[in-house]
Structure 1
Amino acid sequence: MEISRYLRQDRADENGECSIDFRVCWKQQKIRFSSGYKVHPDDWIETVEVVVDPATGRRRKRKKFQTLDRAVNRKLDVYSYGLEEYFDKLDYYPTISEVRAELTRIRQAELGIEPKQPEKKKPEETAAIGPTFFEFWDQYMADHAGLKAKHYVRHFKSTKDHLLHFAPHADFKDITLPFANRFLQYMMKQGVQDETAYKQLKHLRVVMRYARKCGIAIPNDFEDFPSYRSIIQREALKWDEVVALQNVDLPNNLVRQRDIFLFQCYTGLRWSDLKHVRPGNMIEIRSDGNEMEPALRLIQEKGRRENLVPLTDQAVGILKKYGGTLPIISGQKYNVLIKEVARKAGLNRRVVLTEYYAGQRVDVEKALHEIISSHMGRHTFAMIMLDRKVDITDLSDLMGHGSISTTMIYRTIRGEDKIKVMQKAWGKQSAKI
Structure 2
Amino acid sequence: MLHVYFNLRKEKQNQKGLAPVRMIITHGSKKIRKVVPSVKVMPKYWSNQRIKPNLKSEPYNYHVEFNMILDDIDRKIRHIYRESLLTGKPITKDYILQRLDGKPTSMARIDFVDALDEFVATHRSVRAASTIKKYRSTIQFIKDFAEARSFELFFESIDIKFIEAFRDYAFLERHTLNNYYGKLIAFVKTFMNWALDRGYHNNLEFKKFKRTAEDIEVIYLTMDELLSLYHFDFNSRRLSMVRDLYCFGCFTGLRFSDLKALRPAHVFEDHLRMTLHKTRSTDHKIPLNKMAKEILERYQGTVYEPIPRISGQKFNEYIKECCERVGIDELICTTRYIGQRRVDQTRPKYELITSHTARKTFVTNSLILGMNERVLKNITGHKDDASFKRYVDIAENFKQREMSNTWDKI
Shorter-chain TM-score category?
A: 0.5 to 0.7
1:186 partnered with 2:169 = yes
Q: Deviations over 1:239-267 (max 9, x none)?
A: 10011102222111100000001100110
Residue 429 of structure 1, CA deviation: 8.4
After TM superposition, which residue ranges in structure 1, 4 or more long, deviate above 6 angstroms? 127-130, 421-424
Bigger shift: residues 385-394 or 209-218: 209-218
Q: Deviations over 1:56-99 (max 9, x none)?
A: xxxxxxxxxxxxxxxxxxxxxxxxxxxxxxxxxxxxxxxxxxxx
The partner residue of 1:362 within 343, 349, 365 is: 343
Residue 208 of structure 1, CA deviation: 0.8
Aligned twin of 2:92: none
Residue 129 of structure 1, CA deviation: 7.4
1:302 partnered with 2:278 = yes
After superposition, where does 1:240-251 map in structure 2 within 5 Å? 240-250=224-234, 251=236
1:350 partnered with 2:326 = no
How many pairs does the alignment contain? Answer: 294
1:142 partnered with 2:121 = yes
Consecutive unaligned residues of structure 2, counting only runs of 5 or more, are: 1-105
* TM-score, normalised via structure 1 length: 0.63
Aligned twin of 1:229: 213
Q: Secondary structure at the match of 1:365?
A: strand
1:176 partnered with 2:159 = yes
1:217 partnered with 2:201 = yes
8 Å CA contact 1:393, 1:404 repeated in 2: no
Q: Secondary structure at the match of 1:329?
A: coil
8 Å CA contact 1:132, 1:171 repeated in 2: yes
1:201 partnered with 2:185 = yes
Matched residues in 1 for 2:114 and 2:182: separation? 23
8 Å CA contact 1:396, 1:404 repeated in 2: no
> Residues 197 and 401 of structure 1: is their aligned pair in 2 closer, same or farther, counting only changes over 3 Å?
same
Amino acid at match of 2:255: R
C-alpha RMSD of matched pairs (Å): 2.4
Amino acid at match of 2:244: D
8 Å CA contact 1:271, 1:374 repeated in 2: yes
> Residues 129 and 357 of structure 1: is their aligned pair in 2 closer, same or farther, counting only changes over 3 Å?
closer
Matched residues in 1 for 2:281 and 2:359: separation? 18
8 Å CA contact 1:193, 1:355 repeated in 2: yes
The partner residue of 1:270 within 245, 248, 255 is: 255
Amino acid at match of 1:283: F
Q: Deviations over 1:282-306 (max 9, x none)?
A: 234xxxxxxxxx2111111102112
Aligned twin of 2:357: 376
Q: Secondary structure at the match of 2:268?
A: strand
Amino acid at match of 1:362: V
Bigger shift: residues 226-235 or 335-344: 226-235
Matched residues in 1 for 2:256 and 2:109: separation? 40
Structure with the larger helix share: 2
Bigger shift: residues 329-338 or 400-409: 400-409
Q: Secondary structure at the match of 2:370?
A: coil
After superposition, where does 1:253-332 map in structure 2 within 5 Å? 253-284=238-269, 294-306=270-282, 307-323=284-300, 324-332=305-313
Percent sequence identity over aligned pairs = 28
> Residues 231 and 405 of structure 1: is their aligned pair in 2 closer, same or farther, counting only changes over 3 Å?
closer
Matched residues in 2 for 1:314 and 1:421: separation? 28
> Residues 422 and 206 of structure 1: is their aligned pair in 2 closer, same or farther, counting only changes over 3 Å?
farther
8 Å CA contact 2:247, 2:358 repeated in 1: yes
Residue 350 of structure 1, CA deviation: 1.8
Q: Secondary structure at the match of 1:355?
A: strand
Matched residues in 2 for 1:345 and 1:268: separation? 22
The partner residue of 2:373 within 369, 374, 392 is: 392
After superposition, where does 1:125-136 map in structure 2 within 5 Å? 131-136=110-115
Q: Secondary structure at the match of 2:342?
A: strand
Residue 409 of structure 1, CA deviation: 2.8
Residue 416 of structure 1, CA deviation: 4.0
Aligned twin of 2:134: 155
Q: Secondary structure at the match of 1:413?
A: helix
Amino acid at match of 2:372: D
Q: Secondary structure at the match of 2:393?
A: coil
Aligned twin of 2:146: 167
Residue 184 of structure 1, CA deviation: 1.4
8 Å CA contact 1:382, 1:410 repeated in 2: yes
Aligned twin of 2:40: none
8 Å CA contact 1:276, 1:298 repeated in 2: no
